[in-house]
Amino acid sequence: MRPTKLTIYIIIIFGILGVILLSYFLLKGNDADPFKKNNESSEETDHFVYSGVDIITEITDEVTHNIAIHYPKFYDQTLNKKISEYVTESEKEFLNEVEKNKKFLKEYPASLYILFDINRFAKDTYSIVFNKESFVTGANGTQSSKVFLVDIKNNNFIQQTEILIDNEHNRNIIYNLLLNEFEQSEEYSIYLFKDYLKKWVEDENNKFSNMFLTNKSVVFKFDKYVVTAGAAGSPEISIPLSKMRDLITDEWKERMGFEDNDVQELPEKPEPSDENDLEKDSDKDIPSSGKYVALTFDDGPHPTNTLEILQLLDEYSAKATFFMLGNRVDFYPDIAKIIAENGHEIGNHTWSHKNLTSLGKEEMLEEVQVTNEVIQNATGKQPTVFRPPYGAINDQVREVLGIPPTLWTIDTLDWKSHDPNEVLSIVKENVTEGSIILMHDIHKSTVEAVELVLKFLDEEGYEFVTVSEINLH
């Protein structure tokens, strides 16, 4: 019996409806996959708290020296070039000093830390404030700062005197505002040299390159000895925008939202809490039997590498421990949240990867406590374990922090070789029951290494657990 035209039309209509429904469920299924959504190749903008700015972290751990460098990366290569030149030159100077003093540094390694703070003070416009600390030999290290004002929309750097109405009258106002803030400061007042400050402000060659802005204040960051005695360190003086308003050009008043006050307030570095306790109890079960190994990842999170590693771990039903840097969680809180939501263990790796054995008590506590705060804010959980940068630990660190350190038994040196096959070789040669394997999720080559290591260990019959589970087993 031949089908009628009506039957044919009905079949066509149902076919179209079927295609529409199938497309809908396929799209819905993709949305339900957090890894697929997060791995789109669109510059990872979904993960940027600071729109258009990424954070790059470079860690070096050698016998004679430690280096921890953090710097911003923009979409525009012209902006990146200037930032890169500053970082590269700083590192070159440090390494030259290390080479000159190499024989003295085996017992007490030299250190270089380049850190930065970021503040958005207008739409698409940031203050980038570098803080550089270097210690090679002698009783004292060196400290310095560098300010960049960056317009990422127009891809250029802004000179501070483009924002200020720079004339003699206004410079006199700036002097009096700074003088007032210095004199009211309990921390700096006794160290101020008024004549140094006045000379600094009145110098026509001074373009206020140490000035940066937040959405609340104009801040002047002085290097050591510039306007104060050395005991004052590197003073930072904040003047409320309301007091600087008449000194700012009309263009920048408009860009900074003086009239409608619409500058979005970005997250600030959390204040340290009074407690530095990590959660004592893990919600993980004690492994029952078999061969166990713990994969651990330091120095993240990373907006793409970490997500790819999470997907690989998921394919093997593997749990791992992520020792995260606070300053990177500040940039990528949603990545930290995904790690926690997928049942992996969260570890504290300090805010900026400084060698804790070289720090005073107050700075040591701040590195850990502020990281606890930012992890708590991002994930809703406190970290359960702690790993000191470079594995550097001594009795003073143990006493001040009161936190048992989690180290490792296998160092894959992935940060040094950037060779997945070399990483796999190190694991093959050294893995045993209960091994704790160290890798770093900030390196792209480590993603491929993780895939190789998971495959090998799975074939060898190992089960992947967290470091807390290893300790309980």
β-partners of residue 465 are: 294
Q: How far is CA 143 from the centre of its chain?
A: 20
List the one residue out of 245, 266, 385 whose CA is nearest residue 322.
Answer: 385
User: Cβ neighbours of residue 50 under 8 Å, at least 6 residues apart?
Assistant: 72, 118, 120, 126, 266, 331
Tell me how far apart the alpha carbons of residues 376 and 312 are, in angstroms, rounded to a whole number: 25
For residue 239, give both structure tokens: 């003047």
β-partners of residue 112 are: 67, 134
Q: What is the pLDDT of residue 19?
A: 45
Q: In this structure, what are the phi and psi dihedrals at residue 265, rounded to the nearest 5 degrees? A: -85, 125
List the one residue out of 144, 42, 69, 147 whose CA is nearest residue 352.
Answer: 69
Q: Please give the CATH number for the structural domain made up of 48-149.
A: 3.30.565.40
What superfamily would CATH give domain 162-255? Heat-shock cognate protein, ATPase (3.90.640.20)
291-472, CATH topology level: TIM Barrel (3.20.20)
Q: What is the pLDDT of residue 140?
A: 66
List the one residue out of 123, 56, 107 whose CA is nearest residue 84.
Answer: 56
- First-residue to last-residue Cα distance in the chain: 73
Residue 114: CB atoms within 10 A of its CB come to 22
Task: Write out the chain's pLDDT in tens, 473 residues.
Answer: 444 544 545 455 555 555 444 444 444 444 334 343 333 333 333 456 898 999 999 999 999 999 999 999 999 999 999 999 999 999 999 999 999 988 888 778 899 999 999 999 999 999 999 999 999 976 568 899 999 999 999 999 999 999 999 999 999 999 999 999 999 999 999 999 999 999 999 999 999 999 999 999 999 999 989 999 999 989 999 999 999 999 999 999 999 987 654 444 555 666 666 555 565 444 444 445 579 999 999 999 999 999 999 999 999 999 999 999 999 999 999 999 999 999 999 999 999 999 999 999 999 999 999 999 999 999 999 999 999 999 999 999 999 999 899 999 999 999 999 999 999 999 999 999 999 999 999 999 999 999 999 999 999 999 999 999 998 76
Q: What is the pLDDT of residue 266?
A: 55
Strand, helix or coil at 299?
Answer: strand
- Strands (E) across 11-141 are located at 53-61, 65-74, 110-122, 125-135
**Cβ proximity of 374 and 326 under 8 Å:** yes
For residue 151, give both structure tokens: 């317009």
Strand pairing report for 65-74 and 53-61: antiparallel
Q: Measured on CA atoms in the order 31, 37, 41, 42, is the torsion positive or negative?
A: positive
List the chain domain ranges: 48-149, 162-255, 291-472
Q: Please compute, for residue 472, the number of CA atoms within 13 A of its CA located in the half-sphere on the CB side.
A: 15
Per-residue burial over 124-150, b if 16 or more Cβ lie within 10 Å, else e, is: ebbbbbbbbbbbbeeeebbeebbbbbb
For residue 360, give both structure tokens: 């005073």
Q: What is the pLDDT of residue 45?
A: 37
**Cβ proximity of 297 and 440 under 8 Å:** yes
| Amino acid, res. 365 | L
| Amino acid, res. 294 | A
Tell me the catalytic residues.
Answer: 298, 440
Residue 122: left if φ>0, alpha if ψ -120 to 50, beta else—which one? Answer: beta
**Cβ proximity of 406 and 347 under 8 Å:** yes
